């Protein structure tokens, strides 16, 4: 297992980590298999979505905030209950097929690190399954 570091600058943001993942594949010379991209934090997540139009990222964050506002009838004393709920909905990991050293993403797809309780420096764990 390997890891990459992600530094976030806002309380909530989606960071495109696709270039870091591609760099990892190239450095390790990984060719064909599955890459598991996992976030070991309870207030951040990993997702795949459109990366061409920044409005999509904005819309996702706005919709999540509307559905799960920062302030609510929460009992968790740390004040970040919304971040825990958003993380549960988005999920801690994705699996991406890799062929001939390339991520098999759709035309507009990117891999995003979702921060819901930043800014922080986070880890993303990478596990390769393949040849």
> What is the arithmetic mean of pLDDT over 90-106?
98
Q: State the pLDDT confidence band at 110, using cuts at 50, 70 and 90.
A: very high
pLDDT for 7 beyond 90? yes
pTM of the model: 0.96
Length of the chain: 131
What's the pLDDT tens digit per position in 46-82? 999 999 999 999 999 999 999 999 998 999 989 999 9
What's the pLDDT tens digit per position in 11-28? 999 999 999 999 999 999
Q: State the pLDDT confidence band at 131, using cuts at 50, 70 and 90.
A: confident
Task: Specify the pLDDT at position 77.
Answer: 86
Q: Who contacts 6 (Cβ-Cβ below 8 Å, separation ≥6)? A: 15, 17, 20, 113, 115, 121, 122, 123, 124
Task: Specify the pLDDT at position 81.
Answer: 97
pLDDT for 109 beyond 80? yes
> What is the arithmetic mean of pLDDT over 95-110?
97
Share of the chain above pLDDT 90, in %: 96
Query: What structural domains and CATH numbers belong to the chain?
Result: 2-130 (2.60.120.460)
Query: Per-residue DSSP letters for 4-50?
Result: EEEE--SSSEEEE-HHHHHHHHHHHT--SEEEEEE---TTEEEEEEE
């Amino acid at each position: 297992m390997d890891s990459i570091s992600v530094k976030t600058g806002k309380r909530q943001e989606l960071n495109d980590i696709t270039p870091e993942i591609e760099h990892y594949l190239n450095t390790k010379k990984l060719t064909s298999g599955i890459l598991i991209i996992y976030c070991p934090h309870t207030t951040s997540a990993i997702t795949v979505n459109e990366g061409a139009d920044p409005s999509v990222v904005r819309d996702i964050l706005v919709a999540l905030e509307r559905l799960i506002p920062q302030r609510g009838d929460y009992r968790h004393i740390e004040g970040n209950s919304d971040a825990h709920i958003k993380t549960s909905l988005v999920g801690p990991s994705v699996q991406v097929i890799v062929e001939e050293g390339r991520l098999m993403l759709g035309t507009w797809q990117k891999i995003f690190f979702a921060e819901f309780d930043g800014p922080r420096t986070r880890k993303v764990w990478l596990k390769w399954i393949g040849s």
